[in-house]
Amino acid sequence: MPKITIDGQTIEVAEGTTILKAAGQAGIEIPHLCYHPAFPPEGSCRLCLVEIEGSPKLELSCSTVVREGMVIKTQSEKVIEARRSVLEFLLAEHPMDCPICDKAGDCKLQDYYEAYGLFESKFKEIKEKKDKLVHIGRNLLLDRERCIQCTRCVRFLLEVTKTGELGVFERGIHSIIGFYENEPVNNNYSGNLAEICPVGAITDLDFRFKTRTWFLTSRPSICPLCSRGCAINIEFHKGLARIELGKRVFRIRSRENQSVNKYWICDYGRYSYSYLDEGRIAQPFQVINERRTNLSWERMLFILSEKIKSLRIRKRTSRIVIVLNSALTNEELFLVKRLFIEELGINRIFFSDPPDEKGDGFLLTAERVPNRRGALNLGFNLNVGEEVLKQDKIDLLLIFAAHLAEIMPLGWLSTLANQIESKFLFTSRESGLSRHVDFVGPVTPVAEKAGSFTNVDGLNQSFDPALNPWGQSWPEWKIMINLAKEIPINLRYFGRLNSPETIRKVMAEEKLNFSVNP
Amino acid sequence: MNEKVLTRYFDIPHLYNIDVYLEKGGYEAVRKALKLKPEEIIEEVKKANLRGRGGAGFPAGLKWSFVPKVDKPKYLCVNADEGEPGTFKDRFIMSHNPHLLIEGIIITCYAVDIHLAFIYIRGEYEKIARRLESAIEEAKRKGFLGSDILGSGFNLEVVVHRGAGAYICGEETALLESLEGKRGHPRLKPPFPASVGLFQMPTVINNVETIANVPLIILNGADWFLNLGKPKDGGTRLFSVSGMVERPGVFELPVGTPLRKIIYEYAGGIKNGRKLKGVIPGGMSAPILLPEEIDVPMDCESVFNKGSMLGSAAIIVIDESVPIIEVLRKVTKFYSHESCGQCTPCRIGTSWINKIVERIASGKGGKGDIEEIERLALQIKGRTLCPLGDAAAMPILAIVNKYRHELEAMLPQ
């Protein structure tokens, strides 16, 4: 373990650590543009040069490995001067259209200019003219004037997706990023390019000109759209004083998680976020003769508990059918087990997940639900929803699966609808199902709740709400706990539960191995 | 007249023909070398102080000894890209005596345990590439290449690869990238090619003239070679003399021959009796020397001490009829055009300087422009990924420093 001194601070770092990483460990950020921790050092931006005692020239911190006794200066006059000079070069040919650039506020070049530049431009010549609107594939637009040739995009496509769609063309000041022949970027990870571009050269059509980055709040979550469980940040707009916005969420971005998705997320997970704002149900309601009447959660749970109680007294809880899905958290599935199966003796429990699709061989898996492993670990038999078709003698149907409408023939529901006395649907969005049930309760999607999932590799990950609940949406765990209290059932047990965390504690006490990696 | 060694038989017609070459004692060095131990050859070349003829002047024997003795394929890349403006000596060797180069390649490969060599030749040398290819065929037929060369058990293949015309591909690591079929962008060093080179394997990269000297050292010994030149810089060099001289051309002269003597004696002096204005002594990247600075022996150390470099030993002579702004413009235009664009200071710096120089040349110069050129060149120098940043900054700085009055006279007072 070499001992080194950075800016007067002596630290010990692992053998083979680069100066840039060692500095990071000491809490010193060395500016860099072309370097990205996912790729080997490129050394082309020249921004990360530092002074090493005994070395006549400034050295690259991104590629130089520390040696025992090295004395490094990252803030010396010489280093600052070199940084300013690189920034001066980059900005000389940069279009300075920050006011209309989506990256503004989020741009490394801007940040570094604020930190080290702040000079008057001495560039009196004519800037190079390049294409400002090149469709390089999928949702990607390239502005070649803004490009600083860091080649992160090229290297991403070579090293991560191994598709190599982009390359550097021409030479010197005329260098441009481009694609070969008529084959633009076409893979399920293209959205990462706009994210790793340190400037506004590659922008995302999905986000372009929609808002300014400084209006957005970013909160961590986990992508629920397949069983990988990639770490994401949900970026949303809190709204403006007098202007109502049509949506909250403006983009999903990847969040680093070395044990799952490293730095990347797939386009499917990135762009399929409209469900968070569109078609949402704000309040519980009852459907009578196709007319909706709003009611409170308390009222709805009272009605439901009365129905369960009367079936229980008549020893007819076997006439209850519950349809679940594997987007429920481990905590919620645990409650299903304790409340519905063990306390109420309901054994007709079915799962209805969206049908599997093809995985992409990298992050996106075939299972389009986040917690199938969790359900299996808890001992659920994942018999498919179609089994419900064969069921009869149902008095009460509880559906925790909005996907049901997508995979079941609607005719089934309407015929069954007349035979089943009460049908409750818990869903976050409007769907064809709403018309065929008696009660609808709005629930929170993953982005709005806390809990934990077990991903495809068996890794347990917990998450907190990134967004506030839509209207009066409740998470499923809250519905179940309140139902238990309303009936009431085993208050000594259910009474102490009031959050996924408390549920997790009980799960641990009961030796269910669900320790989570935050 | 000096004795020619490397170019000794170059006047003989059809020397490129293997039979003619063999008549003149061709491939004797290979026969001798294959009987030696590889280490003995490296020692001999080290002792001869054969410095690289491509530009950097790195001792060849030392370079070879850096190659790790590992059980991996190793490669030799002969740098025949000859892109340094003013340099035309390698083509002279390859077109007149391709077998001398092949002989050098065989000995080098035998010494470093290499079984595949590449000659990376600049695209414009199409005819020479073909000549090399047929020479390789001839050598193969005579058993000097291929498997079990002269019964020694040593195998070697040589491949000629033509570049596509980028100056940067003469930089050794960009050359490797290009040879691998990629865009010619220099690599970060370390690792150096001797350990991680072509296709990630240990690789020796030498200039054509360097390799062509190897057979002479083997035949005549290190001491003989050292005696030709300077103690730290052995042998002769091929000086490519161009510009305003009476007799431009390639001259083989001992290392250390004074620059004045080369210009006024061998190259016949300045054209039409005009006055000398400046000399670029080692290819365009070498800082220019003023007429009063040309009493310098042409060896690596002496020229370096004069603030310039011997480089590829390409001497460009400029006389009083040439406005210095035109020289500067040629330099900045070249480096701006040939910057590969990979790293920031070179990509934008060379272009920026060129834009200023073009503006001055078109009569639109302004106060402070000269200082600005200097400032920008200093921001490039020592800060780039490959040596080409320095190669651009140094000649620009020298011209601006040494001809400041003439340049300033072009600006509005």
Q: What would the two tokens of residue B210 be?
A: 């360097």
DSSP string, A235-251: EEE---SS---S-SEEE
Map tokens 């900054």 to a residue. Answer: B393
Confidence of residue A409 (pLDDT cuts 50, 70, 90): low
Between chains, do A171 and B343 touch, taking CB under 8 Å as contact? Answer: no
> With contact defined as beta carbons under 8 Å apart, do A455 and A472 qualify?
no
Between chains, do A174 and B341 touch, taking CB under 8 Å as contact? Answer: yes
Between chains, do A172 and B183 touch, taking CB under 8 Å as contact? Answer: no
Kindly provide the b/e burial profile for residues B23-46, where b requires at least 16 CB atoms within 10 angstroms of the residue's own CB. eeebbebbeebbeeebeebbbbbb
- CB neighbours of A55 closer than 8 A, spacing ≥ 6? none
Between chains, do A42 and B349 touch, taking CB under 8 Å as contact? Answer: no
Residue of A nearest to B359 (CA): A125
Please tell me whether residue A98 adopts helix, strand or coil conformation.
helix
Please tell me whether residue A333 adopts helix, strand or coil conformation.
helix
> What kind of architecture, by CATH, is found in domain B324-408?
Up-down Bundle (1.20)
Q: What number of other Cβ atoms are within 10 A of residue B121's Cβ? A: 25
H or E, element range at A405:
helix A404-407
pLDDT digits (tens, 9 = 90+) for B308-359: 999 999 999 999 999 999 999 999 999 999 999 999 999 999 999 999 999 9
Superfamily of domain B18-228: NADH-ubiquinone oxidoreductase 51kDa subunit (3.40.50.11540)
A318 φ/ψ angles, rounded to the nearest 5 degrees? -70, -10
- Which residue stretches of B306-368 are H helix? 324-338, 344-361
Confidence of residue B1 (pLDDT cuts 50, 70, 90): very low
> Please, what is the average pLDDT of chain A?
93
Domain boundaries, chain B: 18-228, 237-319, 324-408
B237-319 CATH choice from 3.30.360.10, 2.60.40.10, 3.10.20.600, 3.40.50.10860: 3.10.20.600
pLDDT digits (tens, 9 = 90+) for B166-175: 999 999 999 9
pLDDT digits (tens, 9 = 90+) for A356-400: 999 999 999 999 999 999 999 998 887 665 666 677 788 999 999
Q: Which of B22, B312, B325, B67 minimizes the C-alpha distance to B196?
A: B67
Partners of residue A280 on adjacent β-strands:
A429
**Which of A245 and A470 is assigned the larger pLDDT?**
A470
C-alpha angle A54/A56/A62, rounded to 5°? 85
Q: What is the pLDDT of residue B410?
A: 94
Please tell me whether residue B121 adopts helix, strand or coil conformation.
strand
Pick from A82, A86, A172: CB nearest B339: A172
Q: Do domains B237-319 and B324-408 have the same CATH topology?
A: no
Confidence of residue A418 (pLDDT cuts 50, 70, 90): confident
pLDDT higher than 60, residue A74: yes
Q: What would the two tokens of residue A105 be?
A: 């506020």
DSSP string, B41-99: HHHHHHHTT-B-SSSS--BHHHHHHTS---SS--EEEEEE---STT--SHHHHHHH-HH
DSSP string, A406-428: HHS-HHHHHHHHHH-SEEEEEES
**Sequence letter at residue B259:** L
Q: What is the pLDDT of residue A45?
A: 97
Query: Which residues of chain A neighbour B366 with C-beta distances below 8 Å?
Result: 124
Query: Which of A125, A144, A180 should be substituted to probe chain B, the one whose Cβ sees the most B Cβ atoms within 10 Å?
Result: A125
Confidence of residue A405 (pLDDT cuts 50, 70, 90): low
> With contact defined as beta carbons under 8 Å apart, do B238 and B250 qualify?
yes
Q: What would the two tokens of residue A70 be?
A: 């090295």
pLDDT digits (tens, 9 = 90+) for B52-111: 999 889 999 999 999 999 999 999 999 999 999 999 999 999 999 999 999 999 999 999
Q: What is the pLDDT of residue A433?
A: 83
DSSP string, B146-194: BSSGGGSS--BEEEEEE--S-GGGGSHHHHHHHHTTS---PPPSSSPTT
